[in-house]
Amino acid sequence: MKTIGNILWFVLAGFWLALGWAFAGVVCCITIVGIPFGIQAFKLAGFSLWPFGRTVVATDEGSTVLETVFNVIWLLLFGWGLFLASMATAVLLCITIIGIPFAVQSFKIGVLALWPFGRTVIAD
């Protein structure tokens, strides 16, 4: 079931989401100070391609001060907008019964888009 969900996700939205995240990552990495943000965008691009069967978890070593500062910068600049867009998409997907599994994936992407530093994506 995960494979079918991932294929449908990839065809309907995943490719374009990943392409957008990858483009944002390249733009961030062009500027030297944006490299940490570009790495997080690439993480989101990979997760956006194939979200079924994967989970976002906090890293084991705990949150450092630098991660917290980067998360606050991310949140203030564009994290809140990306989070709200993912949540709005998820709510719209929840309206239809067939869209609920895709809404769950959109919720997971939204959580990672809100606070990406100090989190990683693992297989279920």
Give the mean pLDDT per block of 10 residues along the chain (124 residues). 88 89 94 93 92 89 85 91 91 91 93 92 89
Q: Give the pLDDT score at 60.
A: 74
With tokens 């100070």, the residue in question is 33
Range of the domain at 67: 2-123
Count up the domains in the chain and report the number.
Answer: 1
With tokens 């709200």, the residue in question is 84
Q: Give the pLDDT score at 110.
A: 92
pTM confidence score: 0.86
Residues 6+ apart with CB under 8 A from 37: 28, 70, 73, 74
Q: How far apart are CA 29 and CA 16, in angstroms?
A: 20
Q: Give the pLDDT score at 69.
A: 93
The partner residues of 123 in beta bridges, in order of sequence, read 54
For the chain, how many residues are written? 124
